[in-house]
Amino acid sequence: MKSYLKSPLSLLVAAGMILSGTVRTWATEAPREVVITAKRFEFSPKQITLKKGETVTLKLTSEDVTHGFFVRPLKIDTEIVPGKTTEVTITPQATGKFTTICDHFCGVGHGNMMMTIVVEE
């Protein structure tokens, strides 16, 4: 008991460590954001790299018409409507190279509109 009273400083240090640990946990809770822009007939960027197990929020916008954003292996199937930001939050569970296609007809080049999502270990 006496040794506790002798070192209030170590208690402060311990409290500080707990506190900073807590702050670090909060900081990692907000998912990383990846911004993707769609326009006839491409996505920008053409490729993004994610980490397996890391939660990210994709922020999708369109510069012209409504596009689709479909990646079956990542269970993403959404529309990108011009004038608003479509958010998709995912936590990839498998590594690989996944092709994303526009599955909403947007014009003559529609069939070639795609991008790649790489998921690394």
Residues that bind Cu ion (CB under 5 A): 67, 102, 106, 110, 113
Nearer to Cu ion (CB atom), residue 51 or residue 59: 59
Compute the least distance from the CB of residue 61 to Cu ion, in Å. Answer: 13
Compute the least distance from the CB of residue 74 to Cu ion, in Å. Answer: 18
94: CB partners within 8 A, 6+ apart: 52, 73, 119
Compute the least distance from the CB of residue 110 to Cu ion, in Å. Answer: 5
112: CB partners within 8 A, 6+ apart: 41
Nearer to Cu ion (CB atom), residue 117 or residue 119: 117
Compute the least distance from the CB of residue 80 to Cu ion, in Å. Answer: 9
How far apart, in whole angstroms, are the C-alpha atoms of residue 102 and residue 87? Answer: 16
Nearer to Cu ion (CB atom), residue 71 or residue 113: 113
